[in-house]
Amino acid sequence: MHGGNDMVVEIVSVGTELLMGSIVNTNACHIARRLAHLGLDAYYQTVVGDNPERLRAALDVAFTRCDCVITTGGLGPTKDDLTKEMLLSYFGCTPTEDAEALRRLEERAARRGVPLTESMRKQATVPAGAIVLQNNNGTAPGVIIEKDGRACIMLPGPPKEMIPMFDEACSVFLRAKSDKVFVSMNIKLFTMAEKGLPVGESPVADRLGALVDGANPTVATYAKEDGVLVRVTAAAPTHEEGRALMAPTVAAAKEAIGAEYIKYVEED
């Protein structure tokens, strides 16, 4: 559909509360940054209320200018969560019940000592043939539909559910669609116990300052059991170009953190 191997992606955020400005659209911000890091182009973002016909119209427009739509919101058990039903009909998919999603919903209901209601159970309904993204932080699973050269990734609305699902599953799917090579360097820091140094994630992020705002290379901090990890990742046409692109950022990150805090640096 578009020149080159790279997919063009559009973000469609579903939710009347976003449209009214009741809540800030942090999801679109997170996804846009990750798409830039994956070397994928995103030219438009759309916000649409909880209305199936307007969502259908937004998708019609989106697919005239992109190959893949990422939706957030509208997957929960309530009446206005209509994204999935609309997309089932939009792509002409047969609904089917996902056994693993149902098992998780039943387990959750049993833990709470309540029966599984029909509205809760419908969250386990997915399009037949879709990739199901299990939700480790909530109830509604996400799905990836690919049909007739078009793809749609449906993610739940709550950021605490959306972010890990996007990062774990969608990055893998989207990365396969990119013609870039990804190179990462890990900067591992000492723990408090090892050095008695203040090396929590927040102070490290503070030291890195503006470096964490870069799109390519990206700099991310991770709080691990055995100390904070800073990962620098570059996307480039070749491994060598990725390394070269990353080198100044790695050097700047090491300098910002301070040598006495760094345990080791290695390529991922």
**Separation CA 6–CA 181 (nearest Å):** 12
What tokens were used for 241? 């170009």
One domain for residues 134 and 229: no
Amino acid in the structure at residue 111: R
3-state secondary structure of 250: helix
Q: What is the pLDDT along the chain (268 residues), one digit of tens a residue?
A: 444 456 899 999 998 888 888 888 999 998 998 887 787 889 999 999 888 899 999 999 999 999 999 999 886 666 555 788 888 889 999 999 999 999 999 999 999 999 999 888 988 999 999 999 999 888 889 999 998 889 999 999 999 999 989 988 887 888 888 777 888 899 999 887 787 665 678 888 888 999 988 878 989 888 877 888 899 988 888 889 999 999 999 999 999 999 988 999 998 7
One domain for residues 212 and 152: no
Contact of 59 with 25, CB cutoff 8 Å = no
One domain for residues 208 and 158: no
Q: For residue 235, what is the domain's CATH number?
A: 3.30.70.2860
One domain for residues 139 and 38: yes
Closest CA to 205 of 226, 229, 225, 239: 229
Closest CA to 207 of 264, 258, 248, 259: 258
The whole domain housing 72 covers 8-176
Residue 18 half-sphere exposure, CB side, CA atoms within 13 Å? 22
Q: Is the pTM of this model over 0.75?
A: no
